[in-house]
Amino acid sequence: MERDFFKQYIQEHKDAFENEALPPNMLGNILDKLKERENQAALEVTPVKKLKLNYTWLAVACTLLIVGGAYLFVSQEAVDIKDPHNLSAANPSVKVQGPKNTPAIESSVQQPTVLTATTYQKQSAIKPAKIDINQAIYKGLTDSTSVAARLDAIIEAGALTALNQSLKAKLCTTFNEDSNDNVRLAALEVLSKFSNDKYVQEQLMAGLSKQKDPVVQLELIKIMGNNGSPETTDKLIAMANNPFTVDAVKEQVYYALLNNQ
């Protein structure tokens, strides 16, 4: 509790107040004295407060520093315990000890696979199945949605030295019944290589009556014109007498008939 300086001053100068006449500038002196004592009291109290304040903040700062350091230390230990593989990642040869009943896990860099004789044999044995060329051609000939696919199949068939029965039959069917003139003409070119085959010869002979395209007719007459069988001759004569047969085809028929005599 602050002291009543005015009261103290009156008590100390009690005798002076008993005089009837006041000294000159009495009140000013009293106020100056009071102000002087207040300043002296402030000087006595202030360093203590400042000193106490400085010690208080210093204690708080030290406490925060200790708590922060302890938190970082504990956090780092927790991270190391939570992820024990950090050690093995830093050093591939370090062994990380697992639980008591499990063996130690050794981290190592994956080694490249060595190709041994056994591995080579196994890899060599894994090969795509060989595609049957006849089956692939047959599949192409049956593709009714693509003229190009059928033409490609006919070209592949022309590269063969022999035709199996199913492929032979399909080529003949394509020649006689395909809706595209170019496909029929291409099939005729391939079949001409096997014109000595009895089955192919019969199908070509049937084409003399079925084919209506002049270009196909001309090529078919060139192939079958040398066949002197009576059946072939009758079909050639019927073609020449057909009013829908163009003159160029008729002339080719006459030429073939004259050569067969």
CA–chain centroid gap for 80, Å, is 36
pLDDT band (50, 70, 90) for residue 31: low
- Asked whether residue 22 carries a pLDDT value surpassing 80, the answer given is no
Calpha distance 258→261 (Å, rounded): 6
**What tokens were used for 98?**
């697992």
- Asked whether residue 118 carries a pLDDT value surpassing 70, the answer given is no
- Asked whether residue 81 carries a pLDDT value surpassing 70, the answer given is no
- Asked whether residue 183 carries a pLDDT value surpassing 50, the answer given is yes
Kindly report the average pLDDT of the chain as a whole number.
Answer: 74
More confidently predicted of 101 and 205 = 205
The closest of 166, 141, 145 to 154, measured between CA atoms, is 141
Are 118 and 105 in contact, with CB atoms under 8 Å apart?
no
pLDDT band (50, 70, 90) for residue 76: low
- Asked whether residue 99 carries a pLDDT value surpassing 80, the answer given is no
More confidently predicted of 73 and 92 = 73
The closest of 170, 110, 179 to 140, measured between CA atoms, is 170
pLDDT band (50, 70, 90) for residue 54: low
Per-residue pLDDT, 89: 47
Q: Determine the average pLDDT of the residues in 251-261.
A: 87
More confidently predicted of 40 and 240 = 240
More confidently predicted of 176 and 18 = 176
Q: Write phi, then psi, for 203 (nearest 5 degrees).
A: -70, -35
